[in-house]
Amino acid sequence: MSDTPDHQALAREAVAAAESEPRDVGLLLRAVEMLLRAGDAARAVAFAQNAVQADPASFRAMRMLSGVLDAVGERGEAIRCGQEAVRLDPANAEVRLHLGGLLAAQRRWREAAEHLSVHAVSPAATPRGWHLLSSVLHQSGNTERATEAARHAVAADPNNIDYRLTLASLLCARARYDEALEALVTVLDQAPDNPLLWRVQSGALEALGRLSEAFAAAERAVELASGDPAYRAHLDHIARLSNVPAAGAGPAGDTARWLAEPRRPRTARAPRLASSLGEDIVTRWRIIYAIMLRDIRTRFGHTRLGYLWAIMEPMSHLLTLGMMFYALNHSPPPLGDNMFLFYITGLVPFLMFSHVATDVMSAAEGANAMLQLPIVKRTDVMVAHALRQFATELVVGIIIFSIAALLGHQGLPADLLTAGAAVTLLWLLAVGIGAVNVVVSSLFPSYETFFNALIRLLYFTSGIYYSPIGMPDVVRDWLLWNPVLQGIDLFRSGFFNQYEPHWLDMNYLLAWVVVSIGAGFALERALRARMMVHT
């Protein structure tokens, strides 16, 4: 004879008892429980509603009604009943966890965090509660607190793979890649056949510039999940960075081969449930700085010249073009007393603009692996690339004008403040245009070809090899709509003491900067979910 209970029969008995005593809350809730076990959630809702009507102040009845409403998909009503249950028993940790989960499912992150925080600090806190709180805080942008909550979840249940993966991902988001690898060591021992663990470890190792280890971990992930195209794409990405063919994943070898050496143990820190703006800024800067370092290592770390090549390349461009036009054109310069100096005062700011705008546009696509890490956003990658390229162009400009000074020509601007303002405005304009281009090129991939053609057109219409001072009024009026020309002329007005173009319009250039940056970053934020991210 089977020991399995007959849930249908038990439900019928409970329903009969409840119907005989329709005001007995205990019998009504017993019927709800048995109907749920029997798989009849719709009737369970009716009996739970009867229990609440019989005693509106019953916490147990309100909590059960919230649960069964959620079971039948009535999440809005389930949340309302859950909130009423919290009002009836504010100290109950279980209902706080229940309501926090419902609100999180509705993406109401801040409200969910309020209830889950109460659950987390109660004596009845659970690992699941800490883990859910961590996810909610992460989604609301509070990464530091999310990391602390994830540490509590791991401390409460050290063997849970999901909890350790969440902690490792959050540490990566805060650019603490060594700590992320340390968090993965234990679960890699426990679950060496889990491909996601190897994938996350590969991403952290790549961010640290340890490409050979990242490639090995990516190979292991592909071996364990050979049918998953995302793992294969990630392996191909690491292979390109490492200059290693990735035709197939080789033997995995011993598990110890893949484990990062643990760092020295740290003193445990008490959880901090408050985050300041300053801490958020520091965290964001650490992410941006890590992206800059990663980009330098992956682009130039495999060559002997390394980052020096990033400086020599635009310098050779400037010197070659400048010398070529100087040799071919022997007429007096429109400004100053040296044609080469006139050319480079146009080339340096223009190439800074074009390089930054192009680099920002391609930043998100070139850092797709980084975008797989939690809260590493396109804006982080865009800002990192803009800062790195600005620093490169600044060094190039200093070297070029220093060479001019060594040759006996003017090496410093007559008005350093005006020249510096021009360079800064052109850089900000490039960041704004690049941000707009990130959105447009993500939605329309062929746009990048159009923008490259536009840059070539600007090359000849931005006053690099001529000054608008010698143009007919009709032509000059059309050229002045080009904000890049306005920026270059502003730079030259600061460089050459005698140059004071009456057509300069600072407000026009500032308007371009403000509108392009505002539109670019607002569009990225609004359309982030629709923009493609490839691993």
Q: How would you write 12-24 as a 3-class SS string?
A: HHHHHHHHHCCCC
What b/e string do you get for 478-499 counting C-beta neighbours within 10 Å, with b at 16 or more?
ebbebbbbbbbbbbbbbbbeeb
Q: Does the pLDDT value for residue 482 go beyond 60?
A: yes
The two structure tokens encoding residue 247: 């035709």
Indicate the angle between helix axes 177-190 and 161-173, nearest 10 degrees.
Answer: 160
pLDDT at 463 over 60: yes
Structure confidence at residue 501 (pLDDT): 81
What is the percentage of the chain residues whose pLDDT exceeds 70?
A: 81
Q: Are 489 and 476 in contact (CB under 8 A)?
A: no
Q: Taking the mean position of all CA atoms in its chain, how far away is CA 102?
A: 26
pLDDT higher for 329 or 354? 354
Q: Which residues, at least 6 apart from 241, have a Cβ–Cβ distance to it below 8 Å? A: 206, 211, 298
Model confidence band, residue 272 (pLDDT cutoffs 50, 70, 90): very low
Q: Which residues of 416-431 are buried (b: 16+ CB within 10 A; e: fewer)?
A: eebbebbbebbbbbbb
Q: How far apart are CA 220 and CA 223, in angstroms?
A: 5
Q: Sorting pLDDT into bands at 50, 70 and 90, what band is 417?
A: very high
> Does residue 370 have a pLDDT over 70?
no
| pLDDT confidence of residue 330 | 62
Distances (CA, A) of 162 to 139, 274, 483: 17, 25, 51
Q: How far apart are CA 66 and CA 82, in angstroms?
A: 5
Most confident of 61-65, 106-110, 439-443: 61-65
CA distance 346 to 426: 12
pLDDT at 276: 53
* Terminal C-alpha separation, the chain: 55
* Dihedral angle over CA of 54, 55, 58, 62, nearest 10: 50
Who has greater pLDDT, 279 or 135? Answer: 135
pLDDT of residue 136: 85
Q: Which residue carries 């500032």 as its tokens?
A: 510
Q: pLDDT higher for 509 or 41?
A: 509
What is the mean predicted confidence (pLDDT) over 50-58?
Answer: 87
* pLDDT higher than 60, residue 256: no
Report the largest interatomic distance among the alpha carbons of the chain, rounded to a whole angstrom.
109
Quick one: pLDDT band at residue 278, thresholds 50, 70, 90? Answer: low
CA distance 169 to 236: 21
| pLDDT at 249 > cutoff 90 | no
Provide mean pLDDT across the span 223-244: 75
- Judge whether residue 16 has pLDDT over 50: yes
Give the predicted TM-score (pTM) of the model: 0.50
Q: Which residue has the tokens 């509603």?
A: 49
Greatest mean pLDDT among 183-187, 196-200, 247-251 = 196-200
Per-residue pLDDT averaged across 461-474, rounded? 79
pLDDT at 494 over 50: yes
Residue 374 in this model has a pLDDT that exceeds 60: no
Residue 297: per-residue pLDDT:
66
The three state secondary structure string of 132-155 is HHHHHHHHCCCHHHHHHHHHHHHH
Q: Which of 98-107, 194-203, 525-534 has the lowest average pLDDT?
A: 525-534
For residue 421, what pLDDT is reported?
92
Question: Is residue 298 a contact partner of residue 434, using CB atoms and an 8 Å limit?
Answer: no
Q: 173 and 287 in contact (C-beta within 8 Å)?
A: yes
What token pair was written down for 428? 């900000």
Mean pLDDT, residues 409-434 taken together: 90
| pLDDT value at residue 368 | 52
Judge whether 185 and 214 are in contact, CB under 8 Å.
no
pLDDT at 244 over 70: no
3-state secondary structure of 273: coil
Question: Which two three-digit tokens encode residue 38?
Answer: 């029997």
Say which range, 165-179, 313-327, 329-343, 464-478, has the weakest mean pLDDT. Answer: 313-327
Q: Which residue has the higher pLDDT, 32 or 510?
A: 510
Q: How confident is the model at residue 431 (pLDDT cuts 50, 70, 90)?
A: very high
pLDDT of residue 474 exceeding 90? no
Name the one residue in this structure whose structure tokens are 């005062």: 345
Instruction: Round to whole Å and give the CA distance between 436 and 430.
Output: 10
114-137 pLDDT, tens digit per residue, is 888 888 888 888 889 888 888 888
Tens digit of each residue's pLDDT (9 = 90 or more) over 152-181: 888 888 888 888 888 888 887 777 888 888
Cβ within 8 Å of residue 216, ≥6 positions away: 257, 258
Of 287-296, 368-377, 516-525, the poorest mean pLDDT is in 368-377
Report the half-sphere exposure of 238 (CA within 13 A, side-chain side).
32
* Mean pLDDT, the chain, whole residue set: 79
* DSSP secondary structure letters along 30-68: HHHHHHHHTT-HHHHHHHHHHHHHH-TT-HHHHHHHHHH
Q: Count H helices, E strands: the chain?
A: 24, 0
248, burial (CB in 10 Å: exposed 0-12, middle 13-18, buried 19+): exposed
148: left (phi over 0), alpha (psi -120 to 50) or beta: alpha
Query: Could you write out the three-class secondary structure of 249-261?
Result: CCCCCCHHHHCCC
